[in-house]
Amino acid sequence: MTALDSAPHPTGRTATGETDPDRRAGIYRNAARIFHRKGYHATSINDIAAAVGLTKAGLYYYIKGKQDLLFAIMSFAMDQLDAQVIEPARREQDPQARLETIVSRHARLITQDSSALTILVNELEGLLPDDRADIIGRQRDYVEFIADTLAALRDEGKVLGLDPTIGAFSLVGMILWISRWYRADGRLDADEVVAEVTRMAVAAVLNRNAEQAEDPDE
């Protein structure tokens, strides 16, 4: 999105004696975009190499392998989630404000660039077992963080009879799904989507009055 998206041969130099970190970042960014569009398994190393203006062998100067590349992207996405969503939310004392922070910030992140964050949830089976355990652990922590927030709301009496686990998963599903339908060039703009989803999420778990319909259909 920002730069060097498919620049053929920038030949950017570094005086540090180390591998150019910008070049590497560009490779990760492109790889994330292509993995996102075609899926990890359907993407070949050649696809990525071509997208960054390298041959396959040239690409291997920067990466250790396809699975390492995937893990790097997913770790980056998880870092993003930590820094942009979890940390800011952790600083919120009020549970409802914290919930709103989580939803709106996570939704915002997805409307900005969904590639890495979507790969994070869709390509887990492409990872090596150890890497997968690492990512799954961090994801579980995130869901538990949301569930704890819902439990805190329940303790305040703002939520009645909602299982925090089901609630947390449901909200996460709602948020993650945004990447499937939201298009930056579409009818809806990001601010509207973020606000609407946040409002729905809060409404889904909060009960303003005690009415809790207990007869589902059939």
Least CB distance to a copy of itself at residue 115 (A) = 15
56 binds, among DNA, a copy of itself, none (CB under 5 to 8 A by kind): DNA
204 binds, among DNA, a copy of itself, none (CB under 5 to 8 A by kind): a copy of itself
Q: Which is nearer to DNA, 26 or 164 (CB)?
A: 26
Is 15 a binding residue for DNA by CB under 7 A? The answer is yes
Q: How many whole angstroms separate alpha carbon 120 and alpha carbon 8?
A: 28
Q: From residue 31 to residue 70, what is the string marking binding to DNA with x (rule CB under 7 A)?
A: ------------xxxxx-----xxxxxx-xx---xxx---
Positions touching a copy of itself (CB under 8 A) are 37-39, 41-42, 96-97, 100-101, 104, 121-122, 125-126, 162-163, 165-167, 169-178, 180-181, 187-188, 192-209, 211-213, 216-217
Is 18 a binding residue for DNA by CB under 7 A? The answer is yes
**Which residues make up the interface to DNA (CB under 7 A)?**
9, 11-15, 17-20, 23, 43-47, 53-58, 60-61, 65-67
